[in-house]
Amino acid sequence: MIRQRVRLRFRKEGDLRWISHRDLARAFERLFRRMNLQLSMSEGFHPKARMSFPSALGLGIAARDEVMEFELAEHVEAAHLAAQLATLAPPGLVVFDVQVLPENTPKAKIVSMSYEAPVPPERRDVIAQAIEQLQAQEHWWVTREDRAAPTDLKADLELLELADGATGPVLRFRMTATHSATVRPRDVLEAVGLGDLEHQGHCLTRTSVALA
């Protein structure tokens, strides 16, 4: 039985950031059908295409460098897949890297994720002070309605900085991605006083994912 695994890196931009993770998976399935690919299917009464995303992207968050993998029941060259993906992908979905993985390659495992959010220029000084205050703390406890116990933001936060972007100041941060990680990127925005940012029409972006 042929089982060829393929890893894609892609961008999720524009209006496409407003579709859910489940709808994104369905969009890929429809795309693969338009490409007439023979997908490898799971076994059982309700077989599904063998597709995986190492980390689901939150609704409304754009992405510059996402990862997904799928299996084929046929051999297809990476260059052929890349050409078809470039032609048939829906607006907002840009596949920029296609790898046909060697046999027995472990599934993609994300170890950290980086994010970026614009900072209104008039709030730069206030946000800089909030970042300094957060970094000075040994712990920063976050309480959410969906969790009984508070979680420590500082335990998962690897990098937090205010930097100069192409169009103004930006907040950049990097978070670990272990099974024990419970903090979400929007928790970081809340912690530095930018919880209203997306409601003001600004976009939170996952800029990269680092694989093990």
- Which region, left, alpha or beta, applies to residue 58 given φ > 0 means left and ψ of -120 to 50 means alpha? beta
How many contiguous H segments (helices) and E segments (strands) does the chain have?
5, 10
Using a 10 angstrom Cβ sphere, with 0-12 exposed, 13-18 middle and 19 or more buried, the burial of residue 99 is: middle
pTM of the entire structure? Answer: 0.90
DSSP state of 66: E
- Name residue, tokens 């993609």: 108
Percent of the chain scoring above 90 in pLDDT = 75
* Average pLDDT of span 137-161: 86
129 CB-near residues (< 8 Å, 6+ apart): none
Tokens of 147: 């969790």
pLDDT for position 130? 96
Cα–Cα–Cα angle for 135, 61, 130, rounded to 5 degrees: 20
Mean confidence (pLDDT) of the chain: 91
Choose between 178 and 162: higher pLDDT. 162
Domains for the chain: give ranges and CATH numbers.
4-100 (3.30.70.580), 110-211 (3.30.70)
Dump pLDDT digits (tens) for 77-89. 999 999 999 999 9
Tokens of 59: 């609704």
Q: Is the pLDDT of residue 1 over 80?
A: no
pLDDT for position 30? 94
Dump pLDDT digits (tens) for 88-121. 999 999 999 999 999 888 888 899 999 999 999 9
